[in-house]
Each structure stands twice: as C-alpha cells, then as structure tokens.
Structure 1
Amino acid sequence: MSISAPEATPKKLRIAFFIPWITKGRGGTENVGQMMANAMAQRGHDVHIFTFDNQNRPSVWPLDPAIRLHCLEEAEDQQANDRISVAVCQSNPDLIVGLHMNRTLLRYVRIARRMAVPIVLSEHIDPYFPQRIGMSSPLERLTAFQGAAKVHLLTESFRQTVPDYLQEKISVIPNTVIPAQRRADPAGPGKTILTVARLTARKNLSRLIEEFAIAARDHADWTLRIVGGGEQLEALRAKAAPLGLADRIAFEGHTDTPYRYLEQAQIFVLPSLFEGFPMSSLEAMTHGLPVVGYKACNGLNIQVRDGVNGFLVADSSRKGGLAGALSRLMGDSELRSRMGQASFEMFNELYSNQVISDQWEQLFLDAAAIPATVTQPGIEEVLAVQDAALPAALRTL
C-alpha cells in the first residue's frame, strides 16, 4: 500500500537513496527506506534507489512507478567504488540519502564527497548497540557524521551520543508504518498474545516463553503466537515443550503479511532489550493493540506510555515482571480496550505516514540547500586516516 500524497511542495528534488538489501530482504531499514522513497516520489520528487545486488533483482517492496531502481555490484575495492560513483553521478542528484546501521555509512560519505553533493545519513539502530556486535566504533560513526549535511536519528535520547560540534546536523524523526486497514479487537472473543520478531537471541524470545509460562497458569484460555523465522526456532520449540506449553505457543514462521496476525490479536508484546525504533510495535499500535515490553528497550520506551497504551516493565532482570504485565491485560478486557484505543490515537497523532513524511521532506529540503563544500571540509583526509588504522577484517561492510 502506498503513502498518500499531500499538497505539492514549492521545490522538487532529485534524490538518490542508498537502501541496502531492498531486493533481498524485508527488514526494518528496508521498510523505512521504501516508505521514504515512495513518499517523496508521490510528492513529486525525482527518486532513484541504489542497492547492492549482483543479480539485478527487483525490489521485494512495492515501489512507485516513477522510482528508478539501480542495482550496484557487490564489491568493496576502489575500482568498484569508482564505478558506483559514476552510476550515482549519472542520476545527477541534488541530494544523497544513505540508510544503514554500520560502517557502510562511510562509503556513502565518500561517494557524496567525490560528487560534491550533500548527503543525509539515516541511522537505524540504537547507537549504543553496534558496540556490542562489532558493527562500527564510535569514532567511525562520528567520522561519517562529520561528512554529512544532516544526520537522521530515531529518538532524542540517541542525540546524546553525538558531541556538541555535530548537534546542528541532527534531526530526530521516528519511524512510521503503513496504517492498518482493519483494526484488532483487544476486548473481543480471541485470547491471543502476539509477538512479531526474527528468532534471534537479541529478540529475547526465550525469556518471553518463560514469562508466558508464568502468566498462563492463571489464564488457561490464552495462547502465545510467535511470528517470525530465524536460527532459534528449534531451540525455542524445545524451550516450550517441558514447560507444558507445546499446545499453547504457536510458531507461525516467517511472513510478509504480519497484519493478518495483528488483526486477530488482543495483546502485543515485544521482549527485546535493544531496538532502534521498532516497527512491529508501531504496527501493533496502528491496529489498536496494547503493547507490553521492557523499559530498557530504547525506542519502545517512547512508543509505549506506561499505564496508558501498554506496560513497560522496569526491571528486565527480574523474572516474572513481564508475566505480571501480561497477566493484568489478560484478565481485564476493558483495560485492553482502553489501552488499545490509546495506542491507535497515539499512532495517528505522532507516527502517521503524513506526520512523518512531512518531517522527512523538510529534512531533505533543508539538507539539499546546504553547500556540500561547506558541510564536508577535509573529510577525505579524515576517512583515509581512519581506514588506515582499521584492521582489514573490520573494513568489511
């Protein structure tokens, strides 16, 4: 489904988006990227999407017919960078927008610098998290930011990770999702708790199963539905069986249509401890579902107002905390209904396509008006020094 176009803007831009894996996967970064690109195309901007794919596959996301998709080679040597720069240059962009969450941002900056085109870097992860998984160092991140005209972050708290001399570059814009066409019924006859996530360790689903086992003791008619694929599937199945939950936990596998599950749910839970600004919980909000999670999870702790549209469990280390929050909702249909309505209203007020697309467009217009020669002083030299100090293994994108 496309994002509706508002009134025409006074200036039209030619925008080159770097969106990783848009021909290969349906992750959160790709989702945000396709919505950005579609929204700008529908507002009359000339949009090009560049992605890395040797097989020249089509986008797995629906794109506006006016958008041109360019598949670039999957190589990282200087010759490849030269060819990529030529390909981007042929689109003659007014602005480059690079979406990612690791050191690929440095590559985008190099390309923009060579073309003397302003660039917006859009970061799609909790900036505290990459240090835990080796994706990029704080110095690499700030080096890339130094070369940008503007930097897009997901929350105000993430702004605190950026030093004062870069603060004027920062724009905070949360995510949006496609609005629901059919709302859920939290107080309806169903008794389903839903989570939608990749089955990986950092999504904390093993803990969710433990917490559901506690809550389920007092609510025999409730089930947990886990939607998503990943390497932990068999381990999670094995976790559920000895707890007596084999017939009360449904593993639905990967899906490209999570909304059909959201329409049938009564409660949404996201047990992650690390996110950027999670899309799945926004999708729950547009469906009018109460949302439960941990207060420690950045992004989620902004979407959920504790006691208003869901519950945030303060102590993520204490067993039973998540179970208690789930149990309160499981046992009170009126509370589910009230919190679900609050979720729906908050989404429309704060995170709707119109609201967020307006902010994106203003960011892009502001960035395009900044001369690249002013915003990128000496960045090539900084990047060269930075690269020379990195082991070869760390330069892998």
Structure 2
Amino acid sequence: MVVALYFYGLSNAGGAERMICQLANALDLRGFTVHLVSWDAEGAQTFYPLRSSVSWHRLGFRPGARDKLRRTRALASVLRKAGARALVGFVMSGDKTVYAAAKLSGVRLIAAERNSPSMYRLRYSALQRRISFASLRLCDRIAVQFTDYMAGYPASLRSRMEVIGNPVGSADTLARPGVSSADGRYTLLAAGRLDPLQKRFDHLVQAFAAIAERHRDWDLRIVGGGPQEDELRKLIREHSLQDRVKLEATTLDIFKAYSEAHLFAIPSLWEGFPNVLAEAMSHGLPAVGYRGADGVAQLIEDGASGWLAEGLHDPQMLAVELSRAMGDASERVRRGSKASLAMAAYSPEIQYDRWENLIRTCLDGERV
C-alpha cells in the first residue's frame, strides 16, 4: 500500500518534524511504501533520522500566488506518479494547496492535527477559523491527539475524528528526582523551541527568579533554540542568574538531559501532544505546568504525576508550584514514578497500530 505524508518543512527540530519522520519510518517497517513530501529546497536534510527506503520529495517554496499553483501541480504529480492512495497531512491549515492537490490526484486525505483546537482561538481571526474548519470538511478522516480536543471542533467534523497520541518510548535510564547530582545540586529542566507566543520560556525564567534565593541548590537548564533566545539571555542577566540558568542548543541526545534532571517544567500557553513533556515523564521526571494549557493538563495529573499551576498567564502562580516541587524530594520521587507509569499508555506499538488502522479503514474498511 502506497501512502504519502506531508509537512511543510523537515529541517528543523520541532515536534511535528519528529513525529512525521517517526511515522514514516514506522509505516515503512510495516510494509507500506512511504513517500514524504515537503516544501524544503532540494538538498535539504532532515534533523531527525529517516530510513533510506522512504522517498522524500523536496518540492521547494517561493512566496506568491503563482508558486501556490506550481506547488499544487507538483504535489498532485508526485501523488499520481507514486500511486499514493492516501495523503496524511500534518498541519495543513496554513496551506490550502495540499487540499487542492489531494483532490486533483484523487487520493484519500487524512488531516493530522498537531495542536489543540485552542490554537485556532488564540492565533486565528474568526474568519480564519471558519476557513480552516471548512477546509477540514474536505478530509476523509482527522487525527487529533486527545479525546478532549474533539469538543473544540465543529460538531459536523467529529464523526470523522480518530484519537491518536504521539508514541512515547520507555526510558533506558530513569531519572532520580530525589537524589542530588554528584556536586550536590538539582536541575530544573525545560526543553523546546524558544518561542515567545506559545512556549513562553520567559514565564519560566521569571518564575525561577522569584524562588531562586529560596532554593539555592537548584539550577535551571533550558534546551532549545529559536527567536526568543536573545530576549531570554537579557532576562537572565537582569535577574543576575547567569550562573544558575543555562540556555543550551537543541540536541539529539535529549534523553541524557532527562535522566540527569530532577524536575521538568513546561510553561506553554498551549500544546498539541508535547513530546518533551511526555518523554520527560517517561524518564520518571515529575512535571510542572499551567492547568489552563491544553496538552499539558492532559498529560500531567495534578497531585499524581506532577503539579499544575492555576490559570495560564501568571509566572508567579507557576513559581508557587515550582517551589512546592523543588522543596519536596519525597513527592518528586512519588510523582515521578507515577509519571513514568502513566506514559505506558502511549507506547509506540499502540500508537502506530492506531495509525495503521486509521489509514487502512479510511481506504478499505480493513483493520489490522
């Protein structure tokens, strides 16, 4: 069975980029013929590993209406020549050329939503929301990441929705959240794209600054890159925390960072299925985030696997929960253990089974 997967670009180290590469590899191993399509330039390289048997079509991108027509034709041509029967599109709401190409080529179209539906309210105008939801009506099936998310879409779309979480593997080395490092210090870890609108690491720096004097044996480590880096470095200097807050570049060896940390923090305004949070929890790290943040509140169970701060916009509320967690080693151990157990529900085999079933039932009504 031939299937195509689309995402606009695969060179960066984001969650959607990781997931589409993982799904392409998994489907390839399960006997699918997989074609990956993006608007990357010829010669681009993926940040995440991709099996050599997966065909990657880099179709290029130029701004303007004329290039939209070219891309529509190019994508439709790839789908026809490959003999694809289904196209799984990741984050298609910003580019209607994918919908047009799918219809021109006659393939079944599956939308893989990578954000909570609250994104449409937080970032889109009312008109843009209507257009995006109308476009989703062109899809045969829609994959969302949590059951809670279905209620955020028009009722007319819900019958074609399937809930599929991201795959979360078991950890080889678990964190020890109650035991200090050899130097007697503890690490509060955060990771992700340094983005001021969604990820909001400035909230975390402000929260840590508010409690740093109270928890002198703790340091903050933020792993990632992005447009907020200069702002964050300035904020760190303003609070005189250069010796205790470190910004580090994105790494493929993030698992080592999880196993070395003692607590995980995620200050996001919203998420889809936050990979870094799920992976940290699978490593036995308890986590702290905002109760009002979609994707965060679905993974962190307050009082069981972590701590949820009230609201969504106040770093001081985040500081309150961080301080509670940083000051209670036995609770970190207890909640970290529950966090690891909770992530077993998202084992890769279970999630890839769901993807395979979704594709097969969309095409033939056949379940694995």
Superposition TM-score, scaled by structure 2 size: 0.90
**Would you say 1:198 and 2:193 are equivalent positions?**
yes
1:94 to partner: Cα distance: 1.9
Aligned to 2:264, which of 247, 261, 268? 268
Give the conservation status (yes or no) of the 8 Å contact 1:226–1:250.
yes
Q: Which residue of 1 aligns with 2:284?
A: 288
Which one of 219, 223, 227 corresponds to residue 231 of structure 1? 227
Q: Find the counterpart in structure 1 of residue 85 from structure 2.
A: 94
Q: What is the match of residue 69 of structure 2? A: 78
Once the two structures are superposed, what CA deviation does each residue of 1:321-370 show, in whole Å capped at 9, x if it has no partner?
Answer: 2222112221222211111111111111x211112111111111111127
Post-superposition offset of 1:217: 2.3
Amino acid at match of 1:256: L
Say whether residues 1:19 and 2:14 are aligned partners: no
Shift of 1:82: 1.7
Task: Give the number of aligned pairs.
Answer: 355
**Aligned-residue CA RMSD (Å):** 1.9
Q: How does 1:139-288 map to 2 (within 5 A)?
A: 139-190=130-181, 191-202=186-197, 203-288=199-284
Does the aligned pair in 2 maintain the 1:101–1:124 contact within 8 Å?
no
Structure 2 gap ranges (5+)? none
CA contact (8 A) 1:102 1:130 kept: no
Alignment check: 8 A CA contact 1:101 1:125 kept: no
Check conservation: 1:131, 1:137, Cα contact below 8 A: no
CA deviation after TM superposition for structure 1 residue 178, in Å: 4.5
1:29 aligns with 2:29: no
Q: Which moved more, 1:160-169 or 1:115-124?
A: 160-169
User: Does residue 43 of the first structure (1) align with residue 33 of the second (2)?
Assistant: no
1:318 positional shift = 4.5
User: 2:159 aligns to what SS in structure 1?
Assistant: helix
The answer on whether the counterparts of 2:86 and 2:359 sit within 8 Å (CA) in structure 1 is: yes
8 Å CA contact 1:187, 1:333 repeated in 2: yes
Amino acid aligned to 2:214: D
Superposed structure 1 runs of 4+ greater than 3 Å apart = 130-136, 316-319
Residue equivalent to 2:105: 115
Q: 1: CA distance between counterparts of 2:71 and 2:233? A: 44
Q: Distance in 1 between matches of 2:109 and 2:88?
A: 6
* Structure 1 residue 49, shift from structure 2 partner: 0.9
1:316 shift after superposition: 3.2
Work out the CA distance in 2 between the residues paired with 1:355 and 1:168.
22
- CA-to-aligned-CA distance 1:162-221 (integer Å, 9 cap, x gap): 222222111121222444322211112230000002222122222211211222222111
Specify every segment of 5 or more residues in structure 1 that has no aligned partner in the other structure, as ranges: 1-12, 371-397
Distance 2:303 2:362 in 1: 39
Q: 1:328 to 1:79 in 2, by over 3 A?
A: closer
Query: Residue 89 of structure 2 aligns to a residue in which SS?
Result: strand
Mark the CA change 1:319 to 1:49 in structure 2 (over 3 Å): closer, same or farther.
Answer: closer
Q: How far, CA to CA, are the matches of 2:110 and 2:196 in structure 1? A: 31
Name the aligned partner's letter for residue 21 of structure 2. Answer: Q
- The alpha carbon displacement at 1:278 in A equals 1.1
User: Take 2:57 and 2:169, find their aligned partners in 1: how far apart are those partners?
Assistant: 24
TM-score, L = length of structure 1: 0.84
Instruction: Determine which structure has greater relative contact order: mean sequence separation of CA pairs < 8 Å that are 6+ residues apart, divided by chain length.
Output: 1
Q: Which deviates more, 249-258 or 40-49?
A: 249-258
d(CA) in 2 for partners of 1:250 and 1:58?
Answer: 28
Superposed, 1:121-132 pairs within 5 Å as 121-132=111-122
1:131-189 per-residue CA deviation (whole Å, 9 max, x = no partner) reads: 54349812222222111110111222321132222221111212224443222111122
Secondary structure at 1:121 match in 2? strand
- Residue 317 of structure 1: CA displacement? 4.1
Which letter does structure 1 place at the counterpart of 2:107? Answer: V
The partner residue of 2:349 within 345, 354, 370 is 354
Q: Which is worse superposed, 223-232 or 255-264? A: 255-264
* 1:68 is aligned to 2:55: yes
Which amino acid is the alignment partner of residue 155 of structure 1?
F
For residue 243 of structure 1, report the CA deviation from its aligned partner.
2.5
- In structure 2, the CA distance between the partners of 1:317 and 1:110, relative to structure 1 (3 Å rule), is closer
TM-aligned CA deviation for residue 60 of structure 1: 2.7
The question of whether the paired residues in 1 share the 8 Å contact of 2:7 and 2:89 is answered with yes
**Secondary structure at 1:137 match in 2:** helix
Alpha-carbon distance between aligned partners in 2 of 1:20 and 1:181, rounded to the nearest angstrom: 33
